[in-house]
Amino acid sequence: MKIAFTRIDLNACQTVVTRKDSVVLAVPTHDRPKVTPHDLAHFIIERELGLDHGFWGKAAAGAMFSGMTVIEGQQKPHAKDRSQQAIKDEKQIGVYAEVLVSTILHMALDNLDKDWIACQRELKEMWVPPGVQTIPWTSARLTKICDELRKAKDDWQKLAVGETMHVLWTINA
């Protein structure tokens, strides 16, 4: 699945997705990214952790979240049913993905990943849905994700208004 993040002004982002079924979707953005678009942070964290049931995995599976609109192509028959099922399946994983993004983005932007003991404490205190296996964290894994987030922040801040950052979602696509 192709994802395009376009800077539409200094603190605004437009996200467009092209799924494998050739349907092109506009994804609403609710943040005013001064640093990194929230959905780009989701992409990096979910990709690096292999989360196929976070926001992007569900979108790749056909989920149409509130506010998403088809701007090109035609959805297959029963797309609405598949979307509802994709959103319903493991619903708390979506909340967990939000918690992960919030926690890890904070660590990356504040360079907290340099203090592994403090990170371990914060990761242990992080909410995990019942029945979900905790992520096997290592200092190297966390640092890799934080480095990717900081690189994305730098790349995003270098974009001029109207320029686009392209990424490719390959998990469950």
Determine the Cα–Cα distance for residues 154 and 148; give it in Å rounded to an integer.
10
CB-CB contact of 165 with 156 (8 Å): yes
pTM of the model: 0.91
In tens digits, the chain (173 residues) has pLDDT values of 999 999 999 899 999 999 998 999 999 987 887 789 999 999 999 999 998 888 998 899 888 888 999 999 887 777 777 777 766 656 677 888 899 999 999 999 999 999 999 999 999 999 998 888 889 999 999 999 999 999 999 999 999 999 999 999 998 76
CB-CB contact of 35 with 27 (8 Å): no
Determine the Cα–Cα distance for residues 147 and 30; give it in Å rounded to an integer.
24
**Element holding 108 (H helix, E strand):** helix 91-109
